[in-house]
Structure 1
Amino acid sequence: MTQRQGFKANEFVVYPAHGVGQILAIEEQEIAGAKLELFVINFIKDKMTLRVPTAKVANVGMRKLSEPALVKKALETLKGRARVKRTMWSRRAQEYEAKINSGDIVAIAEVVRDLYRSESQPEQSYSERQLYEAALDRLSREIAVVQHSTETEAVKEIEAQLAKSPRRTNAKAEAAEGEADADNEGDIDDTDGGTTVADEAA
């Protein structure tokens, strides 16, 4: 078997929860007496292999790599002004995490843009940095594969775009807000039934 659901062996794909992976093979297994077709997907950087039923790819949101035009849009997004909501950090963290795991390259670029800090701005908290690095990793890996470049080159391109973004004029106010959020670290915000991500001071 070389192709199923529009995906073929050796093709790079994006699996929302893990980022860019490569289909090593399409194999058939017998489970509980029923034959099941599976995509065998390797995530080299994570040293992980997933077996995904071919019939489930739409449900899990697996997609082909972004077209160059969409990559360009994601890079343009990085140059925009950061949009930080005036809500508790735990709520924002949930939203950022949802965007990172959405598999949407533009949404991931928005997270990178919103959590980026230039040298002249206050440092990120530990949890902000964790989310920023996760988003940067997802974004750079896909850009690298699409543009046939290295991840290091992709990161440099991303950082060059971020450097063009307008500096936040209210950086000090946001830093003060971040400290206030840290004081509410023990608060539980389960309005959406999601898991609260507590802020940790760097």
Structure 2
Amino acid sequence: MFQVGDKIVYPLHGAGVIDAVEEKEILGKKQRYYIIHMSLGNVQIMIPADRIDDMGLRHIVDPDTMENVFLLFNDDPSASSGSWNQRFRMNMDKMKTGDIFKTTEVIRDLAQINKEKSLGTGEKKLLDNAKQILISELVLVKEIEEEQAIQLLDEAAHC
């Protein structure tokens, strides 16, 4: 499904590039692994090839789709009903899908709440994580540096 050089997104971790596909023996079991270099930081991860569907890996979006993603920041935030922990679980479920539009909704909605009142520690971390995931994909889609991606996101999200 994926090839060396493919730019992919790993839900809850961010975007990266497949550097290699290697067979490794771990705990006495030989298995093929995708070796992925993440776009932010100097991190490399290994994902078992037979588990990629379960993990929700996907190719990065194209530049046109990324433009549509940024348009979501102009939409009104979703109604935040319930307590912060219900909202946290709902937002975490969105993030787990790996869907870039749902991740953007999380950023938009939490950034709006943060403007009105201070977010709790858990939601602050979730907002930061969602931003990092979107930034990591933006770096690969637009082929720009992290600082430029941060600036683009901050301007679009009105952070």
With the length of structure 1 as denominator, give the TM-score of the two structures.
0.68
Q: Is 2:77–2:112's contact at 8 Å kept on the other side of the alignment?
A: no
Match of residue 23 from structure 1: 18
**Once structures 1 and 2 are overlaid, which stretch shifts more, 89-98 or 32-41?**
32-41
- The structure 2 residue matched to 1:74, chosen from 69, 73, 89, is 69
1:58 is paired with a residue whose SS is helix
Unaligned runs of 5+ in 1: 165-202
2:50 is paired with a residue whose SS is helix
- The structure 1 residue matched to 2:101, chosen from 103, 106, 120, is 106
Match of residue 180 from structure 1: none
Question: Percent identical across equivalent pairs?
Answer: 25
Structure 2 residue 132 is the aligned partner of structure 1 residue 137 = yes
Question: How far did residue 67 of structure 1 move?
Answer: 1.5
- Measured on the aligned residues, the alpha-carbon RMSD in Å equals 2.6
Unaligned runs of 5+ in 2: none
2:116 is paired with a residue whose SS is coil
Aligned-partner Cα distance in 1 for 2:50–2:115: 49
2:97 is paired with a residue whose SS is coil
How many residue pairs are counted as aligned between the two chains? 159
Structure with the bigger percentage of helix: 2
Distance 1:34 1:127, change over 3 A: closer
1:84 is paired with a residue whose SS is coil
Question: How far did residue 137 of structure 1 move?
Answer: 0.9
Aligned-partner Cα distance in 1 for 2:103–2:109: 10
**Once structures 1 and 2 are overlaid, which stretch shifts more, 13-22 or 113-122?**
113-122
Aligned partner letter, 1:91: Q
Distance 1:33 1:58, change over 3 A: same
Distance 1:31 1:79, change over 3 A: same
